[in-house]
Amino acid sequence: MSQSSVSKSRSGTSPGHRVLEYLGIAAFFLLAALIGAEIYRGVPGTAYLLALPLLAVAAYLVADLLSGFVHFLLDNFGSAKTPVFGPNFIKPFRDHHTDPTGIVRHDFVDTNGNNSLVSVPFMLVVWLAVPVSTTVWGFLFGTFFLLLAGAVFLTNQFHKWAHMDEPPAWVARLQDWGVILSKRHHDIHHESPYDTYYCITVGVWNPLLDRTRFFERAERLLRRTVPGTDPRLRVEREGSLNERSTPG
Ligand SMILES: [Zn+2]
Ligand SMILES: [Zn+2]
């Protein structure tokens, strides 16, 4: 209803951040079009188009892994008071554990603004520095990168759909086929203490990362080595460990 209002963010971020999110989404689409045009101009030969499905699968898998790692960092390190990233990047993730269905009420800008904002600097570098239209490696990397950026953009939309009781029928079908993150799969992350199944594009890495206790080891390593992080495990989850014991 108030989707057009710049000042109203349903994710609870500040009006200033809301403006940034609008700009981030606009810049994302502009840079995607510019990189896309470079790719189009640079196709080295039709045979190279056969690489597209392979690059798409690779980009999708990398996006899923990236989503897990970024989600892991935002869930476990820093707090809502952390400078710059705290109020608008970390807080929404922490709030999401106490109000898991809040994301369903997020509009397009709330849902996709942050992922656009984090992608834009990388897209700018690729557009400025990678010879996409003049070299074969540039073409292949540029294509992979654009597909990756697209998957990153879609990730929080998939995450939002995974929280809907009744997503659109075609979305539910994609979830059932395991093409995008499903509710059943993502619900595992929403069980206290929220320390596994962080990947939220499709979640294909989650069973492997869970079995190998990858994030538990990564957390321990980071807390031991990064100055300023609390060496104790997961003490900064703002009470979520004690407050919630039932699935979100
Ligand atoms: Zn989480
Ligand atoms: Zn969630």
pLDDT tens digits, residue range 226-247? 887 776 655 544 444 444 333 3
Q: How many angstroms does the Cα of residue 147 sit away from the middle of ligand 2?
A: 23
Q: Which ligand is nearest to the CA of 198?
A: 1
Nearest to 118 by CA among 181, 161, 71: 71
pLDDT, the chain, mean: 88
Task: For residue 36, report the distance from its CA to the centre of ligand 1, in Å.
Answer: 32
Ligand 1: centre distance to CA 1 (Å): 28
pLDDT at 31: 98
CA 74 to ligand 2 centroid distance, Å: 13
When pLDDT is cut at 50, 70 and 90, the band that residue 14 belongs to is: confident
Cβ neighbours of residue 189 closer than 8 Å, sequence gap 6 or more: 196, 197, 198, 200
4-8, 71-75, 104-108, 130-134: least confident range:
4-8
Confidence at residue 231, expressed as pLDDT on a 0 to 100 scale: 64
pTM of the model: 0.87
Ligand 2 centre to CA of 122 (Å) is 25
Percent of the chain predicted with pLDDT > 90: 71
Q: In terms of C-beta density within 10 A (0-12 exposed, 13-18 middle, 19 or more buried), how is residue 224 classed? A: exposed
CB 200 within 8 A of CB 67: yes
Asked if residue 37 has pLDDT above 80, the reply is: yes
pLDDT at 25: 97
Report the distance separating Cα 164 and Cα 166, nearest Å.
5
Measure 97 CA to ligand 1 centroid, in angstroms: 6
Distance between Cα 34 and ligand 1 center (Å):
33
Tell how far the Cα of 132 is from the centroid of ligand 2, in angstroms: 36
* Neighbour tally for 225: CB within 10 Å: 9
- Of the listed ranges 11-25, 92-106, 125-139, 161-175, the least confidently predicted one is 11-25
pLDDT at 232: 63
pLDDT digits (tens, 9 = 90+) for 44-96: 888 888 999 999 999 999 999 999 999 999 999 888 888 878 888 898 888 89
Interval 206-226: pLDDT, tens? 999 999 999 999 999 999 888
**What is residue 9's predicted lDDT score, i.e. its pLDDT?**
57
Centre of ligand 2 to C-alpha 27, Å, is 26
63, exposed or middle or buried, with CB in 10 Å at 0-12, 13-18, 19+? buried
Helix (H) / strand (E) containing 236: none
**What percent of the chain is predicted at pLDDT more than 70?**
88
Q: How far is the CA of 190 from the centre of ligand 2 (A)?
A: 7
Among the bound ligands, name the one nearest to the CA of residue 248: 2
Beta carbons of 94 and 80 less than 8 angstroms apart? yes
Gap from CA of 190 to ligand 1 centroid (Å): 7
What is the distance in angstroms between the CA of the first residue and the CA of the last residue of the chain? 27
Query: Does the pLDDT of residue 136 top 50, yes or no?
Result: yes
pLDDT by residue (tens digit) across 170-199? 999 999 999 999 999 999 999 988 999 999
Burial class (CB within 10 angstroms; exposed 0-12, middle 13-18, buried 19+) of 204: middle
